[in-house]
Structure 1
Amino acid sequence: MAWEVLSIIGTVAFAISGAIVAMEEEYDILGVYILGIVTAFGGGAIRNLLIGVPVSALWEQGSLFLIALVSITIVFLFPKLLLKHWSTWGSFSDAIGLAAFAIQGALYAVHMNHPVSAVIVAAVLTGSGGGMIRDLLAGRKPLVLKTEIYAVWAALGGFIIGMGWAEKPLTLYILFALLVACRVCSYMFNWKLPNRSLRSHS
């Protein structure tokens, strides 16, 4: 049940995120639907390819596809209602999607008896893969590579699940809340990983 709830939360959050980015880039209705679907399911598709899950498993998620389509349609039909709140809630929606999909991807890898390293990779790819594809298709620098701490929280969730510290639904929901809170704090307080620029040397 926890897995299903997290999948729904992540799908809605990322589908909305992809649709709004497409509308910001002034894509037509087809582009809005494509970017929304790719954002919602792109990370899972990459994860499946790397951990050995048949690609056909993606097409068995009919109910999630329907949920994503409904979410995108609402965004497209009522953009003013949602966009005026997007500057406030957009990053929060993305944080929800990141946490939900990271946990879902980690659980997927654990159920296939993969080692902790693979569980962490599955969490990172599922949590941030869709957003990376979204940003690349929108002609933007991927959020995960240049902004506040992002994929690290997905990796943390994967590590905790891979170590067996969060298995029951209650602990999974606590982990979900923790990851969302960490991601929100990272963009509210501008937490960043160390970086080094070569521009000053050129």
Structure 2
Amino acid sequence: MTWELLSIIGTIAFAVSGAIIAMEEEYDILGVYILGIVTAFGGGAIRNLLIGLPVTALWDQSSSFVIALAAITIVFLFPQNLLKHWNIWGNFTDAIGLSAFAIQGALYAVKMDMPLSGIIVAAVLTGSGGGIIRDLLAGRKPLVFRDEIYAVWAIICGAVIGYGLAEQPWELYILCFLTTLLRILSYKFKWRLPYRGLAEKKTA
């Protein structure tokens, strides 16, 4: 039940995220559906490739595809004035998708008896892979490579689950909530990892 709920939460959140970005870029209705679907399932496809599962395993999730299509349709029919508030609540859906899919990916790796490194990689790829593909298709710099902390939260999810610190359903739900909260806070307060730019500063 926990697995299915996390899958539904992540699917809806990322499908909505992809659809809204497609509409921001003024894609037609086909582009909106494609970007929404790719965002919702891209991370799982990348994860499957790297851990040795066939990508075709995604086609077994027929109910998830129906859920994603329904979520995209609702967003597409939303009143225009509500969609203008993407910067307020759009990042919230992305944060939910990141945390839910990161946990789901880690659980998937645990189920396959993978080592800690594999669990963390599965968490990161499942949590951020769809978002990376979404941003690239939309011609944007992927969130995972921006200043704000993003993939680190997926890494922490993978580590927590890999070390067996969250196994019970209620523990996983708390982890999902905390990860979502931390992602929102990192966006709101511009928390970021150390970086070093090579471009020379212009002098007056």
Residues in 2 aligned to 1:182 and 1:165: alpha-carbon distance in whole angstroms = 18
Contact 1:9–1:96 (8 Å) recurs in 2: yes
Residues in 1 aligned to 2:77 and 2:178: alpha-carbon distance in whole angstroms = 33
Residue 166 of structure 2 is matched in structure 1 by 166
User: Size of the alignment, in residue pairs?
Assistant: 202
Residue 150 of structure 1 is matched in structure 2 by 150
Q: Superposition pairs for residues 101-112 of structure 1, below 5 Å? A: 101-112=101-112
Shift of 1:147: 3.0
Unaligned runs of 5+ in 1: none
Residues in 2 aligned to 1:55 and 1:180: alpha-carbon distance in whole angstroms = 27
Residue 5 of structure 2 is matched in structure 1 by 5
Shift of 1:81: 5.4
After superposition, the CA RMSD in angstroms is: 1.3
Residue 175 of structure 1 is matched in structure 2 by 175
Contact 1:75–1:82 (8 Å) recurs in 2: no
SS at match of 1:164: coil
Shift of 1:95: 0.5
Contact 1:18–1:134 (8 Å) recurs in 2: yes
Shift of 1:56: 1.9
Shift of 1:201: 7.2
Structure number with the higher helix fraction is: 1
Residue 64 of structure 1 is matched in structure 2 by 64
Shift of 1:33: 0.4
Runs of 4+ in 1 over 6 A off after TM superposition: none
Residues in 2 aligned to 1:79 and 1:150: alpha-carbon distance in whole angstroms = 29
Deviations 1:67-94 (A, max 9, x none): 0000001111224154033221111111
Which residue identity is paired with 1:178?
L
SS at match of 2:119: helix
Residues in 2 aligned to 1:9 and 1:184: alpha-carbon distance in whole angstroms = 16
Contact 1:40–1:130 (8 Å) recurs in 2: yes
Residue 99 of structure 1 is matched in structure 2 by 99
Cα distance, 1:77–1:201 mapped onto 2, change above 3 Å: closer
The question of 1:46 aligning with 2:39 is answered: no
Contact 1:12–1:71 (8 Å) recurs in 2: yes
Alignment identity in percent? 72
Residues in 1 aligned to 2:82 and 2:100: alpha-carbon distance in whole angstroms = 21
Which residue identity is paired with 1:75?
V
SS at match of 1:159: helix
Contact 1:120–1:158 (8 Å) recurs in 2: yes
Which residue identity is paired with 1:146?
R
Unaligned runs of 5+ in 2: none
Cα distance, 1:165–1:144 mapped onto 2, change above 3 Å: same
Residues in 2 aligned to 1:71 and 1:81: alpha-carbon distance in whole angstroms = 18
Cα distance, 1:81–1:12 mapped onto 2, change above 3 Å: farther
Residues in 1 aligned to 2:36 and 2:151: alpha-carbon distance in whole angstroms = 20
Residues in 1 aligned to 2:156 and 2:162: alpha-carbon distance in whole angstroms = 10
